[in-house]
Chains A and B, each alone.
Chain A
Amino acid sequence: MGVITGLFSWLNAQLLKMTWLSELIRLLVEKGFGLSIQTRLGGSIHFFIYDVIKIFILLSVLIFVISYIQSYFPPERTKKLLGGVKGIKGNILGALLGTITPFCSCSSIPLFIGFTSAGLPLGVTFSFLISSPLVDLASMLILTSFFGIKIAIAYVVVGLILAVTGGTIIDKLGLEKYVEGYVREAENIDLEPIELSRRERVEYARDQVKDIIKKVWLYVLIGVGIGAAIHNWIPQSIVENVIGQNNPFAVILATAVGIPMYADIFGTIPIAEALFAKGVGVGTVLSFMMAVTALSLPSMIMLSKVVKPKLLGVFIAIVAIGILIIGYLFNAIPFILI
């Protein structure tokens, strides 16, 4: 048993945390720039280079592997799998499929219309829509890399609970009439599924890596820049008073700041990492990450084209309240995680 856990933590340290890379960059900063990483400038440079390289390596490898797996679960198939599953089972399945179905906010409208026209309950579609950007294999592995396996699992579990609960509430409220008319009237069409060869799956995965890097590289650099600033330049006391244990409204603040932000987990994680290192509560950090990934201005604008303001408002309110509850809960019981 000891050997296995030892091996696991070694693999985690080397492959996911990349301690070897941290050492390498430390040597570079100390020998190359002649700066100790204990100094502010040296520490910032180390944080920046190390995080940027680490995130891009993780991003490329993870997106490749995950896209390959996702190529087996196109939304057309998800739509069929979800058809006929009733009640909370449908919400659970919707939330789970949301984690493995490839999703891009630019496709969220045709996907929403496709699901609705296939007769899926509104709540099931929303369970899918909440979990899809929030929880996936990539976020689970990247969280393991930065925060350890316990926080990663906690994030995934509460993310799924949020998706299932949110969808169920929307279902119970009977908000179908707040879906735009043309969406409800759309005819259901099942396309012939396109069978992919292994080569095509590899090509698909490679294209995904390229697309996603093109889309997020700037957010990653900005995120790591902010992270480095928090890490080395902003005094501990300010962080603690504004967003740390000293401020009872820290979770609300983190959620409110995170909601309009548009970034995925790769851009968010360096900020979260730096906040966490400064002693910000784990719940506050989780709330921030969830608010950034689950709700963003572009996705709300997209959704507003298929649902009326009332339903959009209910959706935002449910997700935001869920995130707040998660934040306060995890701040109150951090000892389970650390």
Chain B
Amino acid sequence: MEIKILGSGCMNCKKLYANAEAAVGELGVSAQITKVEDFKEITKYGVMRTPAIVINEKVKAFGKISTVEEIKKFIQE
């Protein structure tokens, strides 16, 4: 599984990244989490509000810091 955190490296993006790590850890799934900070890449997903979370190339949430619980649901979808 591939999880991407889109955002320019602001506080909120770091929090979202930490939440994603926690969710992956709690579920015990194997996933690769990467940060995407380049605006060219971010806009390829059509995201206009950061931070956003992308799982397997699908935008799951944007413009908010998804909680650990929410990310767990995204992973299980």
A-side contacts of B8, CB under 8 Å = 106, 109
Do A113 and B49 touch across chains, with their CB atoms under 8 A apart?
Answer: no
Contact B39 A191 (CB under 8 A): no
B45 in complex: contacting residue of A102, A111, A189, A194, CB < 8 Å? A189
Pair B43/A186 contact, Cβ less than 8 Å:
yes
Q: Out of A187, A190, A194, A306, which one reaches B44, CB within 8 Å?
A: A187
A190: nearest chain-B partner, CB-CB = B46
Q: Complex Cα distance A109/B61, Å? A: 18
25 contacts between A and B (CB under 8 A): A74-B49, A74-B63, A75-B48, A75-B49, A79-B48, A102-B49, A106-B10, A107-B48, A107-B63, A110-B39, A110-B47, A111-B49, A113-B39, A113-B43, A114-B43, A114-B47, A114-B48, A182-B40, A189-B43, A189-B45, A190-B46, A191-B46, A194-B61, A305-B39, A306-B39
A204 at the interface (CB under 8 A from B): yes
Shortest CB–CB separation between residue A210 and chain B, in angstroms?
11
User: CA–CA, A182 to B39, complex, Å?
Assistant: 10
Encode B49-64 as 1/0 by CB contact (under 8 A) with A: 1100000000101111
Q: Taking CB as reference atom, which chain B residue is nearest A306?
A: B39
Classify the secondary structure of B's interface with A: loop
Q: For chains A and B in complex, what number of residue pairs have CB atoms within 8 angstroms?
A: 57
B5 at the A/B interface (Cβ < 8 Å)?
Answer: no
Confirm or deny: A76 has a beta carbon within 8 angstroms of a beta carbon on chain B: yes
Please tell me if the beta carbons of B64 and A110 are within 8 angstroms of each other in the complex.
no
Partner of B43, one of A110, A204, A207: A110
Contact partners of A306 in chain B: CB under 8 A: 39
Interface residues of A in 101-127 (CB under 8 A from B): 102, 106-107, 109-111, 113-114, 117
Contact A76 B48 (CB under 8 A): yes
Q: Are B43 and A117 in touch, CB under 8 angstroms?
A: yes
Interface residues of A in 69-83 (CB under 8 A from B): 74-76, 79
Among B46, B47, B64, which residue has its beta carbon within 8 angstroms of that of A207? B64
Cα A114 to Cα B65 with chains together (Å) = 20
Which of B49, B64, B65: most chain A CB closer than 10 A? B49
Check B42 for interface membership: any CB of A closer than 8 A. yes
Q: CB-CB < 8 A to B45: which residues of A?
A: 189, 191
State which size class the interface on B falls in.
20 to 34
Chain B residues within 8 Å of A194, by CB: 61-62
Q: Is the CB–CB distance between A109 and B39 below 8 Å?
A: yes
Bound together, the chains give a CA A106 to CA B47 distance in angstroms of 13
Q: A186 near B48 (CB under 8 angstroms)?
A: no
- Are the CB atoms of B48 and A110 closer together than 8 Å? yes
Given contacts A117-B43, A306-B39, 14 further A-B contacts (CB under 8 A): A75-B49, A106-B10, A106-B12, A107-B50, A107-B63, A110-B43, A113-B43, A114-B46, A114-B47, A186-B44, A188-B46, A189-B43, A189-B45, A189-B46
By the criterion CB–CB under 8 Å, are B42 and A110 in contact? yes
Contacts of B63 in A (CB 8 A): 74, 107
Instruction: State which of A117, A191, A207 has its C-beta within 8 Å of the C-beta of B62.
Output: A191
Chain A residue numbers with a CB within 8 Å of B50 are: 106-107, 110
